[in-house]
Structure 1
Amino acid sequence: MIDALEGRFFLAFIALMEEKSFSRAAERLGYVQSTITTHIQQLEKIVGQKLVHRYPRGMELTEAGKVFAQYAYQYVHLIRSLDEHMHELTEPSGTIRIRAQESFFLTRMLPFIQAYTSSMPSVNVRIEHGTHQDILNGVLNHELDFGIVPQNPNRHELLFDPMLEETIVFAASEPVARQVQKAGAQVLGDQLFISNGTSCLYHTSASDVLKKAGITVKDALELPSLEMIKQYVSCGKGFALVPEIAIRNEIQTGTLQVLPFAPEMNFTHGLIAHRNREHSATAKGFQTALMDFYRTPNILSPS
């Protein structure tokens, strides 16, 4: 099998899997669509398994395709690492893929990324956002070099390096906060609970706290971004669980207030990497720079 496999087949498969469209995969790689089709057909012939189900409006991986995907990412990673190691004889270069929760990137990562990309112009840092499980899956499947998660996943396949402690608070507009102060936290049962969705670790923690407080939320709303959540809540529409640092400006202006009924909730964010992934010198340098940045006192305890 190994003699028949070519790197371009793996690249075509990954592009198709990520784009979920033969035409978009072809456009991404600069091919005509028939080339992608041919590469996938050749792959399926070589491995002796059907890898994708083709539909008029897209595709999805078969069970064999899901297994193959993990090895495809590892193959491409090894080839790119070799290429980067050769280029690193002169200067750091290549692509680093990292995934974090949107709220963490917006409130914590931007200063580091600005400084790092300015000092390392030949390194392409590809940042993605996702839920806690999205991040874990990306690292476990070798799709990513690193992930940033709000707590130690305690998986033997993963290395976890603590970065900083994050305080999470319930926030609401001034009118809603006044209702809670006047009538108690039970009034939140009639309010809309707003979050990034049930797959978000913060949402799960919020639900546990509300349950312990005897609050039964009748309605919830899932919004895709931190900024949308803040804007919606500031209009007096419900309450949300957000990182304290994310609403400091709103607290100062009186747009939002912290609801005091719940105990302080803290999460230890950390960098995760696959235990068996061989990182390039560029990736290792990125990891060192990232951890050094977050271990400085002004980052761990922002004013």
Structure 2
Amino acid sequence: MINSLEGRFFQAFIALLEEKSFSRAGERLGYVQSTVTTHIQQLEKICGQKLFHRFPRGVEPTEAGKVFSKYAYQYVHLSESLKESMNDMNQPCGTINIRLQESFFLTRMLPFVQEYTRNFPSVNLRVEQGAHQDILKSVLDYALDFGIVPQNPERHDILFYPIMEETIVFVASEDLVRKVESVGAQILNDEVFISNGTSCLYHTTAVDVLKNEGIVVKDALELSSLEMIKELVCCGKGFALVPKIAIKNELKMGRLKILPFTSKISFTHGLIVHKNRERSFTAESFQSELLKYFKEY
């Protein structure tokens, strides 16, 4: 098999996996669509397995494709590491793939990204948004160089580097908080809980805390954007669990209030990387710069 595999096949596979479209994968690689199709067909012939389901709306990996993706990412990563090492032994260059929650990026990570980009212009820092379990899975599948998650996964195959403790609070509009203070927290049984979704660690933590307060989440609304969550809560359309720093301005302006729960909630965000991932000089440098930045934060 190894004599038949070519690097461009792996690049076409990853582009199609991420873009979910032959035409978009071709645009990304600078190929015509038929070239991507040919590369995938050749891969499937070499592997003896169908790697993608073709649907009218796009493509999705088969079970064989999901298995193959792990090795495709490792191949491309190794190739990039080799290129970096040969091009320049002392200057970071190439691509770093990192995924984290939107709230952490907006409130903590953005200044670091701006500073790092200025200091290391030869590094393509590819930052993506994701939920806790999604980030962990992608690191385990070698699809990412790094992830930032709000809690130590405590896995033997994951290295966790703590970077910051974050205070999380329940928030609601001033009117709803006033009702809770006068009537009691039980009225929240009839309110909508707004979160990033059931796969989000904030959501599962909130459900547990509310349960201890005698509140059952009956109606939940899933939104991908922190800003949308805050605006809906400000309008009195429900309540949410968010990082305290993310609502600093809203608290100051009186648009949001912290719900009076006795439980203090905090998470320790940290950088995660696969224990067996071979880190390039650029990846090692990035990790060092990030940990140094948050140590001085």
Q: TM-score range by the shorter chain?
A: over 0.9
Q: Which amino acid aligns with 2:48?
A: G
Cα shift readout 1:84-128 (whole Å, capped 9, x = no counterpart) = 112233521111000000000000001111111111111111000
Once the two structures are overlaid, the 10-residue window that deviates more, 43-52 or 142-151, is 43-52
Assess, with a 3 A threshold, how the Cα gap between structure 1 residues 45 and 230 changes in structure 2: closer, same or farther.
same
Q: TM-score, normalised by structure 2?
A: 0.98
Q: Retained in 2: the 8 A contact 1:14–1:69?
A: yes
Query: Mean alpha-carbon deviation: is it higher for 48-57 or for 28-37?
Result: 48-57
Is the aligned partner of 1:170 residue 2:183? no
* Aligned 8 A contact 1:140 1:274 in 2: yes
| Cα deviation code 1:60-88 (max 9, x no counterpart) | 11111111010000000000011111223
Gaps of 5+ in 1: none
Code of the residue aligned with 1:191 in structure 2: it is: E
Cα distance in 1 for residues equivalent to 2:262 and 2:85: 50
- Partner letter of residue 7 of structure 1? G
Matched residue, 1:78:
78
Alignment partner, residue 187 of structure 2: 187
> Which residue of 1 is the match for residue 286 of structure 2?
286
Which structure 2 segments of 5+ residues have no match? none
Map 1:166-245 → 2, pairs under 5 A:
166-245=166-245
Separation in structure 1 between the aligned mates of residue 63 and residue 223 of structure 2, nearest angstrom = 31
Quick one: distance in 2 between partners of 1:133 and 1:88?
A: 35
SS for the counterpart of 1:5 is coil
Question: Which residues in structure 2 correspond to 1:83-162 (within 5 Å)?
Answer: 83-89=83-89, 91-162=91-162
Q: Distance in 1 between matches of 2:144 and 2:181?
A: 45
Whole-Å Cα distance in 1 between the matches of residues 133 and 285 of structure 2? 26
* Partner AA of 1:112 in structure 2: F
Q: TM-score, with normalisation over the residues of structure 1?
A: 0.96
What is the percent sequence identity of the aligned residues? 68
Output the CA distance in 2 between the equivalents of 1:168 and 1:83: 42
Of 7-16 and 254-263, the range deviating more from structure 2: 254-263
Which region of structure 1 is more displaced relative to structure 2, 45-54 or 74-83?
45-54
CA contact (8 A) 1:251 1:257 kept: yes
Distance 2:88 2:137 in 1: 29
**Which residue identity is paired with 2:267?**
F
The alpha-carbon deviation at position 266 of structure 1 amounts to 0.8
Deviates more, 1:209-218 or 1:87-96: 87-96
Q: Distance in 1 between matches of 2:62 and 2:241?
A: 38
Deviations 1:129-158 (A, max 9, x none): 100011001111111000000000011111
Q: Does 1:59 align with 2:59?
A: yes
